[in-house]
């Protein structure tokens, strides 16, 4: 994704028809999710038509237990995506190599531990799930065989996370497509042709995962990664591994907790017999397809509202959320009606057993009402995430799942004469509580102001605060920070540079390390952030179009405006000249110096070699220029952007600071 493309996409969100933009945006997303869901549904489809009810139950229970592994790895792998993305933004190929090497070592150990754990305790896991006695053997076989493929699941996700962090989401999609095709062919061969039932489905799945992983290795060997990777990179780097765990840990926790709740509910229903167990598995697979429009619209709303917040169009951001709800409700209402009257036709797609189909259709009639409520909740989550409030999505999801859905499903299952139709009400009841929490949170959200991030007309000038503000943009190594600090001291005013990181971290919830590595940096090809939470976290199809970097920029912009309103100050970098472009008392300064002089300063201050110092200076400035162009549409370092440009190599640090301070005294003699 290049900068030009991103800008064009932003303009489509901040102007023109909101519903049209949302619909166009959600199309590719839906395609990707459908293919991923198809991969998971193939086993159940084939087994449901060519094997026994016990086999269907085995696939349902076994696949849910394996989903815990997948979601755990997807969560932690977001740490890889973020670190690789940071290094790409800084054009630090060595940093990418360190992350990749540490990731391989870390996840190699994780793969060994999880494989050993599942192989050793697969029977206990099956027993803990209250698996119907008729399906115990099949479930144990299915889980044991699938556990042999854990190393391939982890390998695929590590590679996908690396590629996603480098700005490539298409290649991982190809890998998933390859796995899906292999799985389809082998499922038909092993289950229908050889009659191996759930065991055959497990073998097909494991072989498909292995094939996809091997294909990905061969693909990368031919295409290359675009950076050098040596044996010395493959080591347990404590800092890198610590960052991966710190970033990916919360996402992994949410994924595991939410999926654990489904395991609890499955265990509750398994006590009702093998037919009920199979019926629930059929419905859960159908739901993954039926909920795709609502999920896609939630992500689209996140993209639209994030960009409108960046464009300082808060009303339009909220309108995007409500338009998303309206659009998501259209298929939701249609699906609800179909499930009420033609549920057996839908469930019959995944099972040929009449009893299973009948029970599944009954369960679906109450469960499907959840789709009407998630149409609201998913879009609200996207809106909250765009404001940097992704933590709330995690909170209400976990709270309502474990405080409402699981207990309610358990209590309903214990009622005399309880049916799956009764238990199905637990899902919409839980989401209804989430919706109430979201509405309350929405009503109490403080207004957020943010700068414009597209090429829309500039706002009219106003007098702004009575005090003045000095913004300093600087070439790397030119001494801009020291000059700004000296200016603030000479004028007796506040100085903001590194302390903005702490302020941004506290308000946005983003880690300080993330802000340090990402602010004022962006690659020439793309900008990537970590999926910080919400439904579908870890998938390249979720969170791809709006990032934590956008949240960081919007938050910093709000803070900078507040500081400008509050006091006279000097602000270094962070597009402050653009953010405060409508303030008449703002003076914009650009500090520059020749490359030789800057390389010498970098070598003296940081101990880098002269060659490395010059390369670092050029790469850093390129990242700053791209960042500035991405968020402002302007040209960083252009004289049209600044009131004063100073060559620090000629005047030196102190004299440059005195020139700026003296200019301010003359411009604002009474302030």
> Using one digit for the tens of pLDDT, what is the confidence trace for 548-578?
677 788 888 889 999 998 999 999 999 999 9
Amino acid 278: pLDDT = 80
Cα 276–Cα 277–Cα 279 angle in degrees, nearest 5: 60
Q: d(Cα 121, Cα 191) in Å, to the nearest integer?
A: 26
Lowest mean pLDDT among 28-37, 156-165, 274-283, 353-362: 28-37
Structure tokens that stand for 629 in this block = 């162009």
pLDDT cut 70: percent of the chain above it: 79
Q: Per-residue pLDDT for 4 more than 60?
A: no
The enclosing H or E element of 131 equals: none
Residue 120: predicted pLDDT? 92
pLDDT above 80 for 533: no
The whole-number pLDDT of residue 2 equals 36
* Contacting residues for 19 by C-beta, under 8 A, at least 6 apart: 323, 326, 327
83-92, 224-233, 647-656: range with lowest mean pLDDT: 83-92
Q: Two tokens at 239?
A: 């800092």
Q: pLDDT band at 40, cuts 50/70/90?
A: low
Report the DSSP pairing between strands 569-572 and 469-474. Answer: parallel
Q: Of 633 and 307, which is predicted with more confidence?
A: 633
Instruction: Write the pLDDT tens digit of every residue in 484-510.
Output: 999 999 999 999 998 898 888 888 766
Gap between the Cα atoms of 587 and 181, Å rounded: 61
pLDDT at residue 383 tops 80:
yes
- H-type helices in 51-135, by residue range? 53-89, 93-128
Going by pLDDT thresholds of 50, 70 and 90, the confidence category of residue 14 is low
Q: Phi and psi dihedrals of 76, rounded to 5?
A: -65, -35
Q: Which residue has the tokens 């695929």?
A: 156
pLDDT for position 543:
35
Q: What tokens does 404 get?
A: 């409402």
CB contact set of 124 (below 8 Å; sequence gap of 6+): none
Instruction: Classify 595 as helix, strand or coil.
Output: helix
> What are the tens digits of pLDDT across the range 570-617?
999 999 999 998 888 999 999 999 999 999 998 988 777 877 888 888
Q: Are the C-beta atoms of residues 579 and 462 closer than 8 Å to each other?
A: no
Assigned token pair, 276: 């009920």
pLDDT at 435: 94
User: Is residue 144's pLDDT more than 90?
Assistant: yes
Look at the alpha carbons of 301, 307, 308, 312 in this order and tell me if their dihedral is positive or negative.
Answer: positive
Instruction: Give residue for tokens 């106003």.
Output: 462
- Highest mean pLDDT among 79-83, 276-280, 447-451, 657-661 belongs to 657-661
Summary mean pLDDT of the chain: 79
pLDDT above 80 for 651: yes
The 10s digit of each residue's pLDDT in 423-479 is 889 989 999 999 999 999 988 876 544 333 333 333 334 444 568 999 999 999 999
| Per-residue pLDDT tens digits for 251-308 | 677 667 777 777 777 778 877 887 887 888 788 778 878 888 887 787 677 767 765 6
Q: Between residues 547 and 113, which one has the greater pLDDT?
A: 113
**What is the percent of the chain where pLDDT is above 90?**
23
CA gyration radius, the chain: 28
Residue 36's pLDDT is 64
For the residues of 407-437, what is the DSSP string, one character each?
A: HHHHHHHHSTT--HHHHTTHHHHHHHHHHHH
Tell whether pTM > 0.85.
Answer: no
Q: What is the pLDDT of residue 301?
A: 78
Interval 393-409: pLDDT, tens: 778 888 888 899 889 98
Q: Examine the pLDDT at 213 and tell me if it is beyond 50.
A: yes
Q: Which residue has the higher pLDDT, 150 or 59?
A: 150
Highest mean pLDDT among 11-15, 84-88, 192-196: 192-196
Using the predicted structure, report yes or no on whether residue 649 has a pLDDT greater than 90: yes
Question: What is the rounded average pLDDT of the residues 664-671?
Answer: 85
Q: What is the pLDDT of residue 522?
A: 56
Average pLDDT over residues 153-173: 74
3-class SS at 368?
coil
Which tens digit of pLDDT belongs to each residue from 326-359? 999 999 999 999 999 998 888 888 777 888 889 8
Q: What are phi and psi of 644, to 5 degrees?
A: -145, 130
The pLDDT of residue 12 is: 42
Measured CA to CA, the distance from residue 597 to residue 409 in angstroms comes to 70
Residue 527 binned pLDDT confidence (cut-offs 50, 70, 90): very low
Judged against a pLDDT cut of 80, whether residue 208 lies above it is answered with yes
Looking at per-residue pLDDT, the higher value among 37 and 237 belongs to 237
Q: How confident is the model at residue 644 (pLDDT cuts 50, 70, 90)?
A: very high
């Amino acid at each position: 994704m290049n900068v030009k493309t991103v800008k064009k996409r932003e303009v489509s969100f901040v102007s023109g028809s909101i519903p049209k933009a949302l619909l166009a945006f959600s199309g590719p997303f839906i395609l990707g999710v459908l293919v991923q869901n198809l991969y998971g549904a193939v086993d159940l489809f084939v087994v449901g038509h060519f094997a026994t009810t016990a086999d269907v139950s085995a696939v349902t229970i076994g696949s849910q237990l394996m989903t815990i592994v997948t979601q755990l790895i997807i969560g932690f792998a977001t740490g890889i995506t973020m670190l690789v993305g940071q290094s790409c933004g800084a054009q630090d190929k060595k940093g990418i190599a360190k992350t990749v090497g540490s990731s391989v070592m870390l996840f190699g150990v994780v793969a060994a531990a999880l494989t050993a754990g599942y192989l050793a305790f697969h029977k206990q896991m099956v027993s803990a799930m209250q698996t119907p006695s008729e399906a115990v053997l099949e479930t144990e076989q299915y889980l044991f065989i699938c556990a042999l493929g854990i190393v391939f699941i982890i390998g695929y996700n590590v590679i996908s996370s690396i590629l996603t962090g480098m700005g490539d989401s298409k290649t991982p999609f190809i890998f998933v497509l390859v796995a899906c095709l292999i799985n389809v062919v082998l499922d038909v061969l092993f289950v229908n042709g050889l009659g191996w039932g759930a065991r055959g489905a497990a073998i097909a799945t494991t072989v498909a995962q292995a094939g996809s992983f091997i294909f990905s290795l061969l693909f990368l060997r031919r295409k290359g990664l675009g950076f050098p990777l040596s044996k010395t990179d493959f080591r347990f780097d404590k800092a890198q591994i610590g960052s991966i765990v710190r970033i990916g840990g919360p996402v992994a926790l949410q994924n595991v907790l939410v999926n654990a709740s489904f395991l609890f509910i499955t265990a509750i229903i398994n006590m009702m017999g093998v037919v009920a167990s199979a019926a629930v598995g059929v419905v859960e697979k159908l739901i993954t397809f039926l909920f795709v429009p609502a999920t896609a619209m939630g992500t689209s709303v996140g993209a639209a509202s994030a960009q409108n917040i960046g464009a300082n169009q808060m009303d339009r951001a909220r309108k995007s959320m409500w338009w998303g709800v309206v659009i998501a409700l259209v298929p939701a209402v249609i699906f609800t009606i179909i499930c009420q009257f033609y549920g057996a036709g839908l469930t019959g797609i995944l099972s040929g057993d009449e009893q299973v189909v009948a029970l599944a259709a009954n369960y679906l009639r109450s469960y499907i009402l959840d789709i009407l409520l998630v149409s609201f909740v998913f879009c609200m989550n996207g809106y909250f995430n765009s404001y940097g409030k992704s933590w709330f999505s995690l909170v209400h999801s976990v709270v309502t799942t474990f405080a409402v859905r699981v207990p309610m499903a358990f209590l309903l299952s214990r009622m005399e004469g309880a049916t799956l139709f009764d238990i199905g009400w637990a899902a919409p009841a839980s989401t209804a509580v989430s919706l109430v929490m979201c509405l309350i949170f929405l009503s109490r959200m403080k207004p957020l102001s943010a700068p414009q991030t597209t090429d829309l007309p500039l706002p009219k000038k106003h007098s702004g605060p009575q005090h003045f503000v000095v913004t300093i943009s600087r070439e790397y190594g030119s001494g801009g920070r020291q000059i700004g600090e000296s200016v603030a001291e000479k004028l007796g005013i506040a100085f903001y540079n590194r302390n903005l990181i702490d302020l941004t971290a506290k308000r946005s919830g983003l880690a300080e390390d993330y802000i340090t590595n990402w602010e004022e940096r962006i690659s020439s090809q793309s900008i990537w952030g970590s999926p910080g939470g919400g439904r579908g976290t870890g998938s390249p199809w979720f969170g791809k179009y709006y990032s934590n970097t956008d949240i960081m920029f919007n938050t910093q912009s709000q803070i900078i405006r507040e500081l400008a309103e509050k006091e006279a100050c000097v602000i270094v970098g962070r597009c402050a000249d653009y953010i405060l472009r409508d303030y008449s008392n703002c003076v914009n300064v650009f500090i520059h110096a020749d490359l030789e002089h800057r390389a010498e300063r970098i070598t003296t201050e940081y101990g880098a070699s002269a060659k490395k110092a010059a390369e670092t200076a050029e790469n850093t400035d390129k990242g700053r220029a791209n960042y500035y162009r991405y968020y402002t549409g302007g040209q960083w370092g252009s004289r049209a952007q600044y009131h004063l440009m100073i060559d620090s190599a000629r005047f030196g640090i102190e004299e440059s600071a005195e020139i700026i301070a003296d200019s301010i005294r003359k411009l604002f003699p009474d302030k």
